[in-house]
A and B are shown apart, each in its own frame.
Chain A
Amino acid sequence: MRILVVEDEPELRELLQKAFAEAGFTVDAVGEWASADADLCTTAFDAVLLDLGLPDGDGLTLLRALRRRGTATPVLVLTARDALEDRVSGLDAGADDYVVKPFYTAEVVARIRALLRRPGQALGLSMVEGNVTFDTAARSVEVDGAPLVLTRRELALLELLMRQAGRVISKAAIEDGLYGFDDEVSANAIEVLVHRLRRRLAGAGASIAIHTLRGIGYMLTEASG
């Protein structure tokens, strides 16, 4: 996996470069709009980490130019701007996700990983949370290296939750992902399914937890403590 880090602050660039290198990525790092543009024209990256505030140009124009060329490379925008400003315009310009500064590099690495395991990006990818490994190609789950047998629906639910680990998925989104339009879903089908999956994971000694946020959705995290 080769990623491009575009960040004008040298120390931050260095820290990000280090973090991604440690996470097993090949990292190219540049600090200027012009060199970023040149690199993006000549090299195919698997993902781009883009700071919006560059000394010689706006990161958003770089992003728009990239999308105009038809490049679908996932782009994670690093921004100091927030919701009350132009977070939205960044996404409109073709960003796949954004992280508001300051951030933990671990979170940035996790977000890039999440972007890379989006459907259609990299096939046959393994997702790891805690001691649980999900092989998206083989559609198999291992807990601490031991296979865990799950039903088709349980697998689909776990996959959805692991793709968005650490983030809330609404119940409606889970229903959309798990059931066809014509399927009849009883009001508590998701609750029942989540309950079953929780029991299976607990039974296998998994170190991940599925949290229910009533009225909001579900979230998978590494179990605390």
Chain B
Amino acid sequence: MSAQRSLQVRLVARLVAIFAVGAVAATGGAVIHAVLTLDSLADRSLVAQARDVERAVVVGGDGAIAVRLPKDLVAAYAIGGSMFAVFDAAGRAVAAAPAGAGGRFAQAVGAPPALGFFTLSDKGEARPVLAYVADAGHILPGLRIAVAQSALHDDSFYDSVVEEFLEGVAWWIVPVVLAVIAVAVLTIRATVRSLDEVSRAAAAIGPEQPRRRLPTATVPREIAPLVSAVNSALDRLAEAFERQRCFTADAAHGLRTPLAVLAARVESLADHPEGAALAADVARMTRLVDQLLHVARLEAAPLDRHATVDLHAVAVKAASAVAPLAVKKGCALALEEAGGRWTVHGNEAAIGLALLNLLENAIEHSPPGGRVVVRLEGTGVVSVADHGPGIPAAAREAVFQRFWRGGNAGGRGAGLGLAIVAEVMNAHGGRATVAEAEGGGAVFSLVFPEPEPLAEAPAGGATPSLGRRAAAGA
């Protein structure tokens, strides 16, 4: 699963981003708020200082202005760090402490000084000096009081505020973020786990179990619609398979029943001179119908290939089925084993059908009295050899194509048998091959992938002390 598509990775990334933005915004906001608060504290302090001075202003009878500060304030101004000056309308500093303060104010904001807050810039001082000029026009027109005091803190104070905020407040952001991410991941994991069951159920659905559906009970409600949609898609597929299956079954019934009537009628003509020829025609028609139905059946639905098939058992069954045909033709039919018994994964009926087709072909093409040998080569290869005319090298590819009849237009086959063999082997992931048999004739081989040795030891060998079982194996 790529990181791009992983729900988990995407959710974690987004949560982290949201928390990062949130944390930066919250921290910044808090710091700015703190700084603003401090600044307004300084401003209020300046305003209070200006009021103190204002209250101390005394206007003499001659209009002379004096400032009579309480003792403690006088002391404060004496220490330094604070200063004030009172300017008259003409811009003269009529009172100031410490002496020379008026000049500084005048230098900074003019005389008379402009109203408002400002900073007296003085590079020489460690802390900035904050100043305020208040209008005292109600005492004397044009009277202005300028006050200044060193800032309570310098710029590094802001840094320590931020630092304090981070230490005191922000530390919990990290664990909270981690906790949220952990919860998100666990939730996703749990959700995905509930989908594991669905995945397993889905993996088990195949042509052999077309009626199985995905469970909807355990999946989250958000995902249930998807599961239901998949289920209804499966319903439609199963229905289509079923229709195909019904069609081939109906076709089989529809074709084979009249053939049965025909065969029975022909049978009653046994003594008639045309009887044998008619019977051969019926047999040929029957074989053609069988093969067409097999082709239709193989195409209608994928084979269920999940059984463990014992190749020896299938070979014996197929050989037994064609034995009467072989005996009738005077062929010697035999089964040989070389290399132990093997099983393959597949569909027993289909493998049996492939083998049956090879055997019927071999018997048909054998000269009377010829030998047809089924050989279990071991390692998942079954071959059928005959001593008929064989297949020319140039035709060995074409022979597995439909309706190939090898120029044998008068023959009994419709050219579907080997195509069915090839189709069955393809469906099993194996292949069918043809080569020249030893001593002439054709040898067809079915090659299966991934054969496994039969778990049970094959009967064979002679250890008489073990009783008759020891000698079994024809």
Contact = CB atoms under 8 A, between A and B. Distances in A.
B474 A11 contact: no
B262 interface: yes
Nearest to B255: A80
Nearest to A88: B349
A170 B312 CA distance: 13
A100 B468 CA distance: 37
A103 B459 CA distance: 36
A104 B283 CA distance: 10
A78 B474 CA distance: 32
A101 B263 CA distance: 9
A93 to B, nearest CB: 16
Given A170-B316, A172-B474, A181-B467, A219 B255 contact: no
A172 B459 contact: yes
B249 A12 contact: no
Contact of A172 (B258, B323, B352, B473): B473
B350 A84 contact: yes
Interface of A: 9, 11-12, 15-16, 19, 53, 78, 80-85, 87-88, 100-106, 166-168, 170-172, 175, 179, 181-187, 189-190, 211, 213-217, 219, 221, 224
B468 A217 contact: no
- Chain B contact residues, majority secondary structure: helix
Interface of B: 245, 248-249, 252-265, 267-268, 282, 286, 290, 293-294, 297-298, 316, 319-320, 323-324, 326-328, 330, 332-337, 349-350, 352-353, 374, 459, 462, 464, 467-469, 471-474
A36 B227 CA distance: 46
A81 B252 contact: yes
Contacts, number: 153
A170 B459 CA distance: 13
B267 A104 contact: yes
Nearest to A103: B260
A145 to B, nearest CB: 26
5 contacts: A87-B349, A101-B259, A102-B286, A186-B462, A215-B319
A9 B257 contact: yes
B334 A215 contact: yes
Contact of B265 (A15, A81, A179, A189): A15
